[in-house]
Amino acid sequence: MRGSSFCYFHARPQRPARPHEVRIAMPDQLDGKGTQAILHRTLQALAAGHITARRAAVLLYGIQMSLGQAPQIPPLGPAKLEARS
C-alpha cells in the first residue's frame, strides 16, 4: 500500500456488472407464428442489451432443436387437375 490509497484488491479495475436479463415469454406451440414471435423477441432483447449473446445463442439453439423434432408436414401446393379423356 505504499504510495497508494487502496490495497491491491480494491485498486484493481472491477468487471462490468452483468446486464439485468429479462424473461422472454415463450409461445405454447412453436408453429410458424410462434417461431417468428420468439425469434423476434429474442433478437430485440439481444439488440436492446437485455440478454447476453450467450443466452440468445442458447435460446436460438433450443428453438432450432424443437423445430427439428416437429413432425414434417409437406406444404400445400396448388391442386393438380388431371385431364380425363
Question: What are the tens digits of pLDDT across the range 12-54?
Answer: 777 766 667 788 888 777 777 788 888 899 999 999 988 989 9
Quick check: is 42 in a domain?
yes
- pTM, rounded to two decimals: 0.57
| Residue 32 pLDDT | 75
Quick check: is 22 in a domain?
no
- Of 66, 56, 58, 69, residue with least CA distance to 34: 66
| Residue 3 pLDDT | 74
Domain span holding position 57: 31-71
pLDDT classification of 61: cutoffs 50, 70, 90:
very high
Quick check: is 15 in a domain?
no
Quick check: is 53 in a domain?
yes
DSSP 8: H
| Residue 47 pLDDT | 93
> What cell was used for 12?
484493481
| Residue 71 pLDDT | 64
- Of 38, 40, 36, residue with least CA distance to 25: 38
Quick check: is 36 in a domain?
yes
Question: How many structural domains compose the chain?
Answer: 1
Q: How far apart are CA 24 and CA 42, in angstroms?
A: 7
Quick check: is 81 in a domain?
no
More confident residue, 60 or 29: 60
Residues with Cβ < 8 Å from 49, sequence gap 6 or more? 19
